[in-house]
């Protein structure tokens, strides 16, 4: 793997991502705030300008209409003097001729200190102007014209003045910076605000991410009490998963050690016997008459070892199948007739039952499940063998199968044997666990039968129910899923 690929697969830093996110959020927020403030300010300012133009236009129009004569000189005398900033006034005649325009006309005083207007004769006719046409038609008009090149917009308000000489229009205008011009004006403020916000966001993100990540680092250093020290609600599922995984690993490690110790112990006993008898025969210390007896014992212990190794290999195979988490990995999955399986199991175990002086019966009702016939046969034989092995002479064992009231197929083994103590009922399905170790040695059990039953049931999504009472007997029912 190249260095570039190694760098690519390295995990990202949560602290850096939080900091970048907070800084970017702060930047976006200030930009959005300034943009919104600019738009709202420009709109508010424009509305105030329109209101101001309406008031001033209506006022001057009324004052002009009240005069005895109506011409440019009379109107000029109504205008404010003394350098007061005023909007643009335009007086327009009925035919669109400009009688006066404060932007293009010169205001002069004569020798008697009287104000006169010197008109610019080059002003175009305003008959085609929208505000003039609307004012003539409706009595008043207000509109806005934009200049993209100057980044300005001009607000106009025009009112029609009905005079004896004929109608005239007074128009008042004011240039206002549009949104783009206003943004240009506030650009230094915007840049300064962005810089300040970035600095504040950087400091705040450093403080906040440090405060957020520190409990997580503390959590990683105290995995033993992880569930009790979860700093954030969102980390509870992760903490539970970690705690469960740790417990599972510890349990697996404990199980592995116990399994190794049990296997070593189980193999050591028959190997010691085989080695001892073989040594007696090899050295000639065994009498010729005892050789067949010793050979028989060697054969018996060897068979016991073969049975033990076979069960261990089967458990290993079942573990591997279960680890794949897929029922399709079970060999030969298909419909299995439980009634036929019960009859076959009863026939195969009849000899063992007779040797133990135990009566074996069965009650096979129609029932079908989907699974591995070989493994289900192994499950049935192990349960039946266990019921016979831990029974008393004269006892009985009954195998049953059918469909329960809930529609789920079941297989059941009932005996009237020695029973299982209450404190051992939760452990009998563990590997190498024996309730009565002395009896297990005498009957030749490996201690793996019920463990194999448990794994086969898990692979078939079946549930095991155990009911037992010491001195009365045991009933074990394996219930399969409905329509399995």
CA dihedral 331, 336, 338, 344 (to 10 degrees): -70
How far apart, in whole angstroms, are the C-alpha atoms of residue 432 and residue 366? 34
pLDDT band at residue 363 using 50, 70 and 90 as cut-offs: very high
- What does the pLDDT read at residue 327? 45
Reduced to 3 states (helix: H, G, I; strand: E, B; else coil), residue 127 is coil
| Sole residue written with tokens 């329509």 | 483
How far apart, in whole angstroms, are the C-alpha atoms of residue 45 and residue 178? 10
Q: Which two tokens stand for residue 448?
A: 């793996």
- What does the pLDDT read at residue 75? 84
Domain layout of the chain by residue ranges: 14-185, 233-323, 332-484
In terms of Cα–Cα distance, which of 146, 178, 139 is closest to 161?
139
Q: Which two tokens stand for residue 52?
A: 């101001």
pLDDT exceeds cutoff 90 at 477 = yes
Lowest-confidence region among 11-20, 26-35, 122-131, 349-358: 11-20
Per-residue pLDDT tens over the stretch 407-445: 899 999 999 988 888 888 777 877 777 666 554 555 555
How far apart, in whole angstroms, are the C-alpha atoms of residue 420 and residue 389? 13
pLDDT exceeds cutoff 80 at 119 = no
Are 107 and 84 within 8 A, CB to CB? no
Q: Does the domain formed by 14-185 have CATH 3.40.50.720?
A: no
pLDDT band at residue 293 using 50, 70 and 90 as cut-offs: confident
Ramachandran angles phi, psi of 313, nearest 5°: -65, -40
Q: Which two tokens stand for residue 336?
A: 């299995």
Between strands 396-403 and 359-364, the pairing is parallel
How far apart, in whole angstroms, are the C-alpha atoms of residue 34 and residue 457? 68
How far apart, in whole angstroms, are the C-alpha atoms of residue 47 and residue 86? 17
pLDDT band at residue 84 using 50, 70 and 90 as cut-offs: very low
Q: What is the DSSP code (8-state) at residue 4? A: H
Assign domain 233-323 to a CATH class. Answer: mainly alpha
Are 78 and 51 within 8 A, CB to CB? no
Partners of residue 398 on adjacent β-strands: 361, 414
Reduced to 3 states (helix: H, G, I; strand: E, B; else coil), residue 101 is strand
pLDDT band at residue 113 using 50, 70 and 90 as cut-offs: very low
* CA dihedral for 138, 128, 55, 65, sign (positive or negative): negative
pTM score over 0.75: no
- DSSP H helices, 324-426, are 338-348, 350-355, 373-389
CA angle, residues 203, 207, 212, in degrees to nearest 5: 145
What kind of fold does domain 332-484 have according to CATH?
Heat Shock Protein 90 (3.30.565)
Ramachandran angles phi, psi of 234, nearest 5°: -65, -20
Per-residue pLDDT tens over the stretch 301-336: 787 777 667 767 766 666 666 555 444 444 457 899
- What does the pLDDT read at residue 186? 63
Are 118 and 99 within 8 A, CB to CB? no
108 contacts: CB under 8 Å, gap ≥ 6: 115, 116, 117, 118
Are 41 and 182 within 8 A, CB to CB? yes
The string of DSSP letters for 185-203 reads HTHHHHHHHHHHHHHHHHH
pLDDT band at residue 346 using 50, 70 and 90 as cut-offs: very high
Which is more confidently placed, 415 or 258? 415
């Amino acid at each position: 793997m190249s260095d570039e690929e190694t760098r690519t697969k390295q995990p990202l830093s949560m602290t850096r991502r939080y900091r970048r996110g907070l800084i970017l959020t702060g930047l976006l927020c200030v930009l959005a705030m300034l943009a919104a403030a600019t738009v709202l300010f420009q709109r508010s300012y424009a509305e105030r300008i329109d209101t101001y133009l309406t008031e001033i236009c209506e006022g001057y129009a009324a004052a002009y209409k009240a005069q005895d004569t109506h011409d440019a000189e009379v109107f000029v005398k109504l205008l404010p003097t003394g350098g007061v900033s005023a909007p643009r006034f335009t007086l327009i005649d009925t035919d669109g001729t400009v009688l006066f325009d404060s932007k293009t006309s010169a205001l002069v005083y004569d020798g008697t200190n009287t104000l006169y207007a010197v008109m610019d004769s080059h002003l175009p006719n305003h008959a085609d102007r929208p505000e003039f046409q609307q004012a003539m038609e409706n009595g008043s008009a207000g509109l806005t014209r934009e200049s993209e090149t100057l980044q300005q917009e001009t607000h106009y308000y025009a009112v029609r003045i009905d005079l004896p000489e004929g109608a005239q229009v007074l128009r008042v205008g004011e240039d206002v910076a549009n949104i783009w011009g206003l943004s240009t004006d506030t650009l230094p403020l915007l840049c300064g605000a962005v810089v300040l916000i970035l600095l504040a966001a950087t400091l705040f993100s450093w403080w906040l991410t440090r405060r957020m990540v520190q409990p997580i680092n503390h959590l990683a250093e105290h995995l033993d009490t992880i569930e009790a020290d979860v700093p954030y609600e969102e980390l509870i599922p992760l903490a539970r998963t970690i705690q469960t995984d740790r417990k599972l690993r510890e349990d697996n490690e404990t199980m592995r050690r116990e399994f190794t110790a049990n296997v070593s112990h189980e193999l050591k006993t028959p190997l010691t016997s085989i080695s001892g008898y073989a040594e007696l025969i090899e050295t000639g210390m065994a009498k010729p008459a005892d050789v067949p007896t010793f050979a028989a014992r060697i054969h018996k212990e060897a068979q016991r070892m073969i049975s033990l190794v076979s069960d261990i290999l089967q458990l290993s195979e079942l573990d591997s199948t279960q680890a794949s988490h897929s029922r399709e990995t079970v060999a030969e999955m298909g419909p299995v007739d439980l009634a036929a399986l019960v009859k076959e199991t009863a026939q195969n175990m009849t000899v063992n039952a007779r040797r133990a002086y135990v009566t074996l019966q069965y009650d096979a009702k129609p029932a079908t499940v989907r699974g591995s016939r070989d493994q289900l046969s192994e499950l049935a034989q192990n349960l039946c063998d266990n019921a016979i092995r831990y029974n008393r002479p004269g006892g009985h064992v009954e195998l049953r199968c059918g469909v329960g009231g809930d529609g789920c197929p079941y297989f059941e083994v009932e005996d009237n044997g020695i029973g299982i103590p209450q404190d051992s009922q939760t452990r009998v399905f563990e590997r190498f666990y024996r309730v009565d170790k002395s009896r297990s040695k005498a009957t030749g059990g490996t201690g793996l039968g019920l463990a194999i039953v448990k794994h086969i049931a898990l692979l078939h999504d079946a549930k095991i129910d155990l009911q037992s009472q010491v001195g009365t007997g045991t009933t074990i029912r394996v219930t399969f899923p409905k329509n399995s």
